[in-house]
């Protein structure tokens, strides 16, 4: 460690201090020790700046979350005023406060869950953890204690707690953590290009995924399967957009076996897909919903679970028998976080940002797809203002690069060299720009990406990874 530290960072620098004090989330820790961190210093609008004064367009919206961009003065003033008014309040033991009440009312009016109740947390992970607990509580309360199993999908991302990490369908989030926990099962991802069989049409592909889901329910027993969870677009799994008929097929099967549908809108909620929610875009009628990220544009941490009244009623009755509903967080409905979220939602509406994002979506998707003729681009995919470009050694033959080579990570580093931040998801490069981005800024995103992509092509040719 000491030798690596000497090689990558000057003693006493922020980089050196990082390497001796922080354990980074979702990071290749061994590679991090060799290369050191990129230390960011400030941000404004869609641009972030590192401590050396280099500026980057943040085309990932942080972690899919900074929809309003950085440094909005209205939000800063709302947070300051809230702190001065009541810096903390909780919802335990029948206590309440106006910010949490008002935000719950606002969300109820927005989401496609009829007569919902809102439970607040701090992150998408704890929201999906809460989902598991509420579903279990509900089925115990109505006398169906065997209904405890959950079905998720490979390539799905639902968080990193023991429970939500089990729902996640990405192996690095399971390996060495002894996940998934018992009672969580995974079915195939709806990525047609990657997983369709030779000569299989999209319709046949959807039918096969539907059959897999149904057979999983039947194998486990419909009386034991409680819920299915899905992101409308699989985000961290590679920005996987399902075929048009996929969710209709899934919902018909769930209804047949009385399995609940948990919609994970942590990434897709609040205008990202061209409509207010991914459920609106893909015709999903969810039982419950998980929200976070753009709920506050990541200015402060807050999440929400929205549950229909018919699920809440037996939970209320059962908690009376127990004596307390034994779930909640110190920061559930934190008044400052709730006030900030209220201000962010008000700004979305006043500035008409969902419509603005939708107006940019066609051009954004067209520019993504314009790279499909590039020698190492296998696929460009997306919807609204979210997308990904996947790299392969031989796109015509669906031949990927060796994952150990890290071509996606190399391309992302070249993007940084040209003043652009994207996120490598394996060999897919993800884009999720703030909703406030302009057409001019979007054009700069793709101009800089084109330079990085050509750099990457030159690199793989020089390394003999593709034909010269």
Q: What is the average pLDDT across 97-104?
A: 98
Q: What is the average pLDDT across 285-298?
A: 98
| pLDDT at residue 327 tops 80 | yes
pLDDT score, position 7: 57
Using CB atoms within 10 A of its CB, is residue 464 exposed (0-12), middle (13-18) or buried (19+)? exposed
Read off the pTM: 0.96
CA distance 155 to 242: 12
Enumerate the CATH 3.90.1150.10 domain ranges in the chain, comma separated: 38-71+353-462
Q: What is the average pLDDT across 366-374?
A: 97
pLDDT score, position 298: 98
| pLDDT at residue 322 tops 60 | yes
pLDDT score, position 241: 98
**Partners of 306 in beta bridges:** 118, 289
pLDDT score, position 9: 79
Q: What is the average pLDDT across 139-143?
A: 98
| pLDDT at residue 6 tops 60 | no
Residue recorded with tokens 């369908």: 169
| pLDDT at residue 104 tops 70 | yes
CA distance 68 to 21: 31
CA distance 381 to 273: 12
- SS3 assignment for the chain: CHHHHHHHCCCCCHHHHHHHHCCCCCCCHHHHHHHCCCCEEEEEECEEEECCCCEEEECCHHHHCCCCCECCHHHHHHHHHHHHHCCCCCCHHHCCCHHHHHHHHHHHHHCCCCCEEEEEECCHHHHHHHHHHHHHHHHHHCCCCCCCEEEEECCCCCCCCHHHHHHCCCHHHCCCCCCCCCCEEEECCCCHHHHCCCCCCHHHHHHHHHHHHHHHHHHHCCCCEEEEEECCCECCCCCECCCCCHHHHHHHHHHHCCCEEEEECCCCCCCCCCCCCHHHHHCCCCCEEEECHHHCCCCCCCEEEEEEHHHHHHHHHHHHHHCCCCCCCCCCCCHHHHHHHHHHHHHHHHCCHHHHHHHHHHHHHHHHHHHHHCCCEEEEEEECCEEEEEECCEHHHCECCCHHHCHHHHHHHHHHHCCEECEEECCEEEECCCCCCCHHHHHHHHHHHHHHHHHHHHHHHHCCCCCC
Q: What is the average pLDDT across 401-424?
A: 97
pLDDT score, position 308: 98
Residue 3: band (very low, low, confident or very high) from pLDDT cuts 50, 70, 90? very low
Residues ≥6 apart with Cβ < 8 Å to 413: none
pLDDT score, position 467: 83
pLDDT score, position 79: 98
pLDDT score, position 1: 43
Residue range 38-71+353-462, CATH number: 3.90.1150.10
| pLDDT at residue 5 tops 60 | no
Digit-coded pLDDT (tens) for 218-254: 999 999 999 999 999 999 999 999 999 999 999 999 9
CA distance 421 to 66: 13
Q: What is the average pLDDT across 211-215?
A: 98
CA distance 378 to 426: 13
Residue 468: band (very low, low, confident or very high) from pLDDT cuts 50, 70, 90? confident
Architecture field, domain 73-350:
3-Layer(aba) Sandwich (3.40)
Tell me which long-range contacts 363-371 makes (C-beta under 8 A, separation of at least 24).
363/439, 363/442, 364/431, 364/433, 364/442, 367/442, 367/443, 367/446, 368/431, 370/446, 371/449, 371/450, 371/453
pLDDT score, position 259: 98
Enumerate the CATH 3.40.640.10 domain ranges in the chain, comma separated: 73-350
How much of the chain, in percent, has pLDDT values that exceed 70?
98
pLDDT score, position 10: 86
CA distance 442 to 357: 11
């Amino acid at each position: 460690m000491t030798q690596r530290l000497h090689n990558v960072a000057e003693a006493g620098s922020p980089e050196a201090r990082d390497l001796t004090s922080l354990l980074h989330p979702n990071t290749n820790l061994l590679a991090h020790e060799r290369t050191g961190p990129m230390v960011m210093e400030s941000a404004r609008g869609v641009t972030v700046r590192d401590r050396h004064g280099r500026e980057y367009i943040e085309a990932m919206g942080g972690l899919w979350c900074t929809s309003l961009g950085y440094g909005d003065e209205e939000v800063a003033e709302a947070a300051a005023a809230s702190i001065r008014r009541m810096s903390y309040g909780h919802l335990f033991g029948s206590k309440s406060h106006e910010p949490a009440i008002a935000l719950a009312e606002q969300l109820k009016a927005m989401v496609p869950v009829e007569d919902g109740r809102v439970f607040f947390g701090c992150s998408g992970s704890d929201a999906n953890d809460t989902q598991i607990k509420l579903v279990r509580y509900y089925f115990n309360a109505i006398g169906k204690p065997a209904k405890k199993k959950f079905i998720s999908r490979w390539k799905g991302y639902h968080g990193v707690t023991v429970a939500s990490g089990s729902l996640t369908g990405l192996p690095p989030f399971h390996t060495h953590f002894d996940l998934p926990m018992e009672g969580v099962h995974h079915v195939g991802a709806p990525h047609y290009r990657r997983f369709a069989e030779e000569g299989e049409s999209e319709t046949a592909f959807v039918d096969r995924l539907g059959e897999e889901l149904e057979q999983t329910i039947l194998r486990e027993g419909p009386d034991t399967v409680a819920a299915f969870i899905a992101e409308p677009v699989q985000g961290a799994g590679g920005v996987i957009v399902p075929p048009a008929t996929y969710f209709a097929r899934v919902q018909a099967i769930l209804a047949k076996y009385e399995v609940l549908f948990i919609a994970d809108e942590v990434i897709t909620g609040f205008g990202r897909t061209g409509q207010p929610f991914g459920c609106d875009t893909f015709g999903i009628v969810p039982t419950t919903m998980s929200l976070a990220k753009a709920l506050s544009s990541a200015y402060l941490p807050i999440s929400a679970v929205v549950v229909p009244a018919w699920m809440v009623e037996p939970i209320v009755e059962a908690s009376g028998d127990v004596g307390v509903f034994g779930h909640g967080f110190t920061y559930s409905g934190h008044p400052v976080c709730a006030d900030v979220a209220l201000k962010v939602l008000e700004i979305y509406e006043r500035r008409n940002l969902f419509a603005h994002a939708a107006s940019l979506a066609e051009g954004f998707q067209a520019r993504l797809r314009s790279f499909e003729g590039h020698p190492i681009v296998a696929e460009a995919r997306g919807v609204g203002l979210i997308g990904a470009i996947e790299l392969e050694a031989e796109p015509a033959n669906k031949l990927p690069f060796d994952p150990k080579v890290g071509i996606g990570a190399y391309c992302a580093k070249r993007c940084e060299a040209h003043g652009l931040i994207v996120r490598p998801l394996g060999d897919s490069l993800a884009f999720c720009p703030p909703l406030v981005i302009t057409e001019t800024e979007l054009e700069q995103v793709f101009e800089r990406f084109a330079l990085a992509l050509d750099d990457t092509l030159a690199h793989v040719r020089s390394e003999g990874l593709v034909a010269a």
